[in-house]
């Protein structure tokens, strides 16, 4: 066995891997496109997130644009980042992701920012990601409940606010509606309170809240385009499928479960964290009026609620030291689902393993070549 042969094989494998899924050069020089000096491992207030969004668009015009698609109760913009490659005017398929529908779930907006950063870092070198961005747009809303999120930043006593900040209805004295009980999906039937002072108050009527209206209007007018609806929450380490009502099942329940469980497996592979998968009435509690349910009822075939870390030790007050690992595992889960949904739409490929075949294969090639080099 000649040394040159080994070097050629090893070098070739290494080169192929660099072009494929494994990022060989994740040093600072590859961080083109991500705003410098932005710390993705800290929580940021709305003003910083807005600035960051502007910079992401300015520095990546070929990939990212932004748009205001609604207004909060207090008159603030609700903005998404639209991420995709290729020409406008083409009706592209799309993925929807929103974060921070519940004010106190700070890890959720942190994840949306992390997610965008990962896309920016890898879309040029990751062939699969590049392909998906050519075929689909990603609509990412880093903070949906802007009023509530800002309120939770006022001081320690407001930190655990959950709802919107709309004014009290007639005959009641407390602010805010639980936006994730306000959508037109079996609204007001189960898992809600009619008391405006409660944290699961579903509002005076379905889609009474401007924030819910914004999502309803935007997503509702693009139902045929949107392949997947992901809504990001904390905490509990769960992946929830439709529906929140215990007596209704989605027609593609089996597939939703299979994909969800595979995504949870991918998440666990990162840092060993368990994420339970199932409908809300099975694994958590029944609920109605959730955005996830509404999206599925509208015909969007894949709709999931991500409940990120943790399982109760810190709850919503997740330490900043955990932002990175929480986001790393959530990213794998989200990417798995997005990849599956893409491959199903564009290649009619529904084998669960398909999404990870490429990675496994090239990991094998590397393994064998490294073993070769070591043994000789």
Catalytic positions, please?
A: 307
Q: How far is the CB of 333 from another protein (least distance, A)?
A: 14
| Beta bridge mates, 38 | none
Residue 302 near residue 259 (C-beta atoms within 8 A): yes
Dist CA 64 CA 56 (whole Å)? 7
Residue 278 near residue 292 (C-beta atoms within 8 A): no
Dist CA 234 CA 308 (whole Å)? 5
| CB of 73 or CB of 80, closer to another protein | 73
Look at the alpha carbons of 270, 273, 278, 281 in this order and tell me if their dihedral is positive or negative: negative
Q: What is the DSSP string of 125-136?
A: T-HHHHHHHHHE
| Beta bridge mates, 240 | 278, 305
Q: How far is the CB of 1 from another protein (least distance, A)?
A: 5
238-241/302-308 β-pairing? antiparallel
| CB of 175 or CB of 210, closer to another protein | 175
Provide the strand spans (E) within 238-275. Answer: 238-241
Q: How far is the CB of 84 from another protein (least distance, A)?
A: 28
In which element (H, E) is residue 303 found? strand 302-308
Q: How far is the CB of 83 from another protein (least distance, A)?
A: 28
Give first-to-last CA distance, the chain, whole Å: 9
Q: How far is the CB of 288 from another protein (least distance, A)?
A: 8
Q: How far is the CB of 223 from another protein (least distance, A)?
A: 20
Residue 309 near residue 107 (C-beta atoms within 8 A): yes
Alpha-carbon separation of residue 17 from 32, 126, 288 (angstroms) = 21, 10, 46
Helices 323-347 & 253-271, crossing angle to 10 degrees?
140
Backbone angles phi, psi at 5, to 5 degrees: -55, -45
| CB of 189 or CB of 225, closer to another protein | 189
Burial of 88 from C-beta contacts in 10 A (0-12 / 13-18 / 19+): exposed
In which element (H, E) is residue 195 found? none
| CB of 86 or CB of 367, closer to another protein | 367
CA 249 to chain centre: 23
| Beta bridge mates, 94 | 137, 226
| CB of 174 or CB of 345, closer to another protein | 174
| CB of 57 or CB of 257, closer to another protein | 257
| CB of 30 or CB of 354, closer to another protein | 354
Q: How far is the CB of 126 from another protein (least distance, A)?
A: 18
């Amino acid at each position: 066995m000649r040394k040159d042969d080994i070097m050629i094989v090893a070098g070739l494998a290494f080169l192929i891997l660099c072009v494929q899924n494994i990022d060989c050069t994740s040093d600072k020089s590859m961080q083109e496109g991500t705003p410098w000096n932005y710390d993705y491992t800290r929580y940021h207030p709305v003003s910083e997130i807005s600035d960051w969004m502007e910079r992401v668009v300015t520095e990546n015009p070929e990939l990212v644009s932004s748009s205001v698609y609604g207004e909060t109760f207090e008159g603030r913009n609700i903005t998404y980042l639209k991420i995709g490659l290729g020409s406008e005017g083409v009706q592209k398929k799309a993925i929807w992701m929103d974060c921070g529908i519940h004010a106190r779930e700070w890890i959720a907006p942190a994840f949306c920012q992390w997610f965008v950063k990962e896309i920016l870092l890898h879309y040029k070198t990751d062939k699969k990601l590049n392909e998906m961005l050519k075929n689909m747009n990603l609509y990412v809303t880093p903070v949906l409940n802007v009023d509530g999120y800002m309120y939770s930043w006022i001081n320690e006593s407001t930190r655990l606010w959950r709802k919107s900040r709309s004014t009290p209805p007639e005959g009641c004295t407390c602010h805010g509606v639980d936006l994730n009980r306000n959508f037109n999906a079996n609204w007001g039937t189960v898992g809600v309170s009619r008391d405006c002072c409660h944290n699961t108050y579903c509002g005076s009527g379905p889609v009474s809240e401007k924030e819910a209206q914004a999502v309803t209007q935007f997503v509702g007018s693009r139902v045929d385009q949107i392949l997947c609806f992901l809504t990001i929450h904390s905490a509990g380490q769960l992946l929830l499928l439709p529906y929140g009502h215990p007596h209704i099942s989605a027609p593609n329940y089996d597939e939703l479960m299979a994909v969800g469980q595979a995504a949870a497996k991918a998440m666990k592979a990162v840092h060993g964290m368990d994420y339970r998968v199932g409908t809300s009435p099975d694994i958590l509690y029944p609920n109605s009026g959730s955005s996830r349910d509404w999206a599925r009822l509208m015909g969007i075939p894949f709709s999931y609620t991500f409940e990120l870390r943790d399982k109760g030790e810190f709850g919503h007050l997740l330490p900043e030291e955990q932002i990175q690992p929480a986001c790393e595992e959530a990213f794998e889960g989200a990417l798995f689902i997005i990849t599956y949904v893409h491959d199903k739409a564009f290649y009619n490929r529904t084998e669960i393993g398909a999404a990870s075949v490429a990675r496994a294969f090239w990991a094998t090639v590397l393994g064998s070549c490294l073993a070769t080099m070591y043994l000789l």
